[in-house]
Structure 1
Amino acid sequence: MILIIQTQIKLIKEFKQIKKVIRTLKILIFFCVISLIWSCSDAIIPRPYGYYRVDLPAHTYRTIDTLNLPYRFDLPVNALLIDRKSQGEKYWIDIFYPALNASLYCSYKAVNGNLFDLTEDSRRIVYKHSIRADGIGEKVFIHPEKKVYGILYDLSGNTASTLQFMLTDSTQHFFRAALYFNNVPNKDSIVPMAEYVREDVIRMMESFEWKK
């Protein structure tokens, strides 16, 4: 009787060991199948976000000298000039790019012994963007033959404005402008458009003249 019981216990132990082996084999087979499926499928590669492509036209210009403004300059043919006189701002204009949904907001003030205050106000407005800007570059512009002197500010990063500048003759006139895109700023999506407008701004500064 004792021998029979011992034999049964031994069989039970062997059966449990066999079950463990079978369970282990099932797990190994499962992982082998998963590995085989994974190796046969294409690897998933994360891709960066895409943005709508904007076809930028060639740069062509016309001289703006039709309004009763104390200045003139070359304007891109694909931009609209909006007079803000109706808003009570004499000699203020907007340069709007419909295809880019961007505007260059331009203001003008007469200098009456307050050139330092005007230039410092302009600089202060630029550096308000330093909170979000990766950097702010300054480029001095001098055109003594036309009595046009100024500074071009390049703002990098996710800033509301990517470019601003000011021009003056140091005695009578002061002109400043700021570029804004009418959407949420994202440096990756607007960099090509900002560089495109920057070329127009350079042309604008180089062709700028005072009438009076």
Structure 2
Amino acid sequence: MKNRKNFILAVLALLIITFWVSSCISDDDNFTAPKPRAYMRIELPSHEYQKFDLPYPFSFEYSKHSEIYPDTSRNAEPYWFNIYYPSLGVTIFVTHKKVKNNLEEYIEDAIRFANKHIPKADDLLEDIVLDNENMVFGKIYNIEGSDVASPCQFWVHDSTKNFLRGSMYFDTHANNDSLQPVIDYIRNDVLQLINTFEWIN
């Protein structure tokens, strides 16, 4: 009698455990799994360019989908300006300096500004600019990483009189992984700017 009672209790306990385990791992419709990370789709405009023709000591082509306005900040100097992309929330800040036997100083400053982003960068890629015909020499920096504040920077000079530096920033802090299409789009525009750049004496 005791054996039969123990057997019934053991079977009952086994049924309860089986029921409990099966309820924990059932294919219930209410079961939710974590969704993969997704980013919103960004519609990018086509690449169309126009000539920068203000009375500055240089000219270049820039995007028709951007606006150029002078830098009005307190420390701004002549020929400083910004290229703003209203639909993308991106600004390229551009500064110009007259060279007076201090070209190396300007180059070192530009390198230092790019290197400031290294702690948050996954990679820093450099492209050399070498256009002997138009006397345009410099570098383009592609700074990769999800938390990098300025993913694209550049500088050019004519080796004797002029130095120009540009850096790209988003209007708001964002994850660069989600904005990679915008970064690539702006980098193409920077290449167009550099490839069409000319000094005007």
Normalised TM-score (structure 2): 0.90
Q: CA offsets, 1:51-86, max 9 Å, x none?
A: 222211111111011x23111110100000011257
Unaligned runs of 5+ in 2: none
| Normalised TM-score (structure 1) | 0.86
Match of 2:64 among 77, 81, 103: 77
Asked whether the 8 Å contact 1:159–1:185 carries over to 2, the reply is no
Matched AA of 2:189: D
- Give 2:46's match in structure 1, choosing from 51, 58, 62: 58
Out of 118, 127, 135, the residue aligned to residue 130 of structure 1 is 118
**Stretches (4+) displaced over 6 A:** none
Q: Quick one: percent identity of the two aligned structures? A: 32
Partner of 2:176: 187
Unpaired segments of 5 or more residues in structure 1? 1-10
Please tell me whether Structure 1 or Structure 2 has the larger radius of gyration of its CA atoms.
1
Per-residue deviation, residues 175-208 of structure 1 (Å, max 9, x unmatched): 0000111222412111100000111100100111
Letter in 2 for 1:69: Y
Work out the CA distance in 1 between the residues paired with 2:29 and 2:183: 42
Residues in 2 aligned to 1:86 and 1:187: alpha-carbon distance in whole angstroms? 27
Q: What secondary structure, in the 3-state scheme, does the structure 1 residue paired with 2:116 have?
A: helix
Residues 1:108 and 2:96 are matched in the alignment:
yes
- Asked if 1:47 is matched to 2:31, the reply is no
Task: Show the counterpart of 2:193.
Answer: 204
Q: How many residues align?
A: 199
Amino acid at match of 2:21: F
The root-mean-square deviation of aligned C-alpha atoms, in Å, is 2.1
**What does the per-residue CA deviation read over 1:119-162, in whole Å, with 9 as the maximum and x for residues that have no partner?**
00000010000000011111111111111111111100020000
Query: Which has the higher mean CA deviation after the structures are superposed, 98-107 or 88-97?
Result: 88-97
Q: Is the 8 A contact 1:64 1:72 kept in 2?
A: yes
